[in-house]
Structure 1
């Protein structure tokens, strides 16, 4: 695959006219405005709780706050567009008012949710379906001209773990992302981050094969985001629980950083920041 077919290497994002540096890895804190997210401690039930948790994340060193109003855990219940917006908009507006320095990412696959949350003050869209679950998403991002996180997922949250099959997990995902990037480039969407989608339509074996070869995503010359935090690929291997999976999360974050990850999406910001600092020291 010829590298000249893709974007030049991206080391920054344009966030509402301000250049955000990505030459050093950054951490994204997860803020779930859902009653059924897989990690119960990440659930946020009120505006005050969201403000408090965001303040903690920022103080610990998070660069981004990723807010989700639709649980994407395996087998999650479907949530209406109106319910998703009702969960997200008040939080975005409150964060904008109380913590204007916070860079807000919205975890959604719906174009209308993307448009309305950006209008309310969010900055980035994080789409688990890479436009596959809403045909209007790409044109909406092109209109909004905001950074776009594009993740690979086989299937939907409701069925993705039933029987995921690949000929070659790495090559299949690279091919999938290459086709999406070609469309995005034609639409003149400039700020794109790719996410291999660990745990989304993949077995444990798929996840570890993907991690082992993660450096190959450098072919796209785009920033790579990873999200391992407390997932089954950790606690099922270690035979412990989600609550006990922090140490395993740190191990996988370390490996991902060494293979070129630029953003760690995590429930535990302090530990991820420490991970980034130590890997940077190793490479100094």
Structure 2
């Protein structure tokens, strides 16, 4: 899953692709490098980012979804939003997946819209409100707590008729470095093997800060972690550097590790 941020304030590529021409060029680059899915984000969810309404997200998206579909019709598009209204707009433009970092907690209509559209839905673990999503929580056992959350939220989704669910443990959102490392060690125990796992650790601070590096300078460390989660059953990698992740995936598929 290649990341396409249409934002001026994302932590590592803010302002790089927030014009339609630049976004289209980057989408083409991601596809050429081997992305099977493009995740479009109209709003940054890094700490202290500018908060946008659904209307502002839709304005920022403009025609980019339909334009990508026009020029690259085989492309699968995931929309990174926590607003049901933005999902409805994206659905009419041709999106193929909902990537909701809030797990339906920031917009009570999200699960209903996921059911209405019948789109695959990415359920991420996160604190229960926008204001607290980056507050570091002290977990007794991070894997147990994340699984409890997944159990409750997937039950609700299934009750509403959402069948195609992908789980995201929520790296970079309200978790101590030690807890995130524990999750990486125990990926195979997350989600009860009922649903595919999406892992998004690309350029995350829990990797680069302890190393004293920048988000753009941890590719080697990130690929080692990507290989680690693939070996434990992860099915989707959400990444900025598609070409490097593709190499890691090839190494995994060939068993050369």
CA distance in structure 2 between the partners assigned to 1:253 and 1:116 by the alignment: 33
For 1:4-19, list aligned pairs within 5 A.
Answer: none
Conserved? CA contact 1:73–1:157, under 8 Å:
no
CA distance in structure 1 between the partners assigned to 2:256 and 2:111 by the alignment: 37
Match of 1:95 among 52, 65, 68: 68
Match of 1:177, SS state, is: helix
Question: Does residue 45 of structure 2 align to residue 72 of structure 1?
Answer: yes
Offset, 1:156: 4.3
Regions of 4+ moved over 4 Å: 155-158
Offset, 1:42: 7.7
TM-score normalised by L of structure 2: 0.95
For 1:1-284, list aligned pairs within 5 A.
Answer: 28-40=1-13, 43-156=16-129, 158-282=131-255
CA distance in structure 2 between the partners assigned to 1:250 and 1:283 by the alignment: 14
Unaligned 5+ runs, structure 1: 1-27
CA distance in structure 2 between the partners assigned to 1:281 and 1:96 by the alignment: 32
CA distance in structure 1 between the partners assigned to 2:177 and 2:184 by the alignment: 11
Inter-CA distance 42–100: structure 2 relative to 1 (3 Å threshold):
farther
Q: Which residue of structure 2 lines up, in the alignment, with residue 12 of structure 1?
A: none
Unaligned 5+ runs, structure 2: none
Inter-CA distance 233–131: structure 2 relative to 1 (3 Å threshold):
same
TM-score normalised by L of structure 1: 0.87
More contact order relative to length (CA 8 Å, sep ≥ 6):
1
Conserved? CA contact 1:74–1:158, under 8 Å:
no
Range with greater deviation from structure 2 (100-109 or 43-52): 43-52
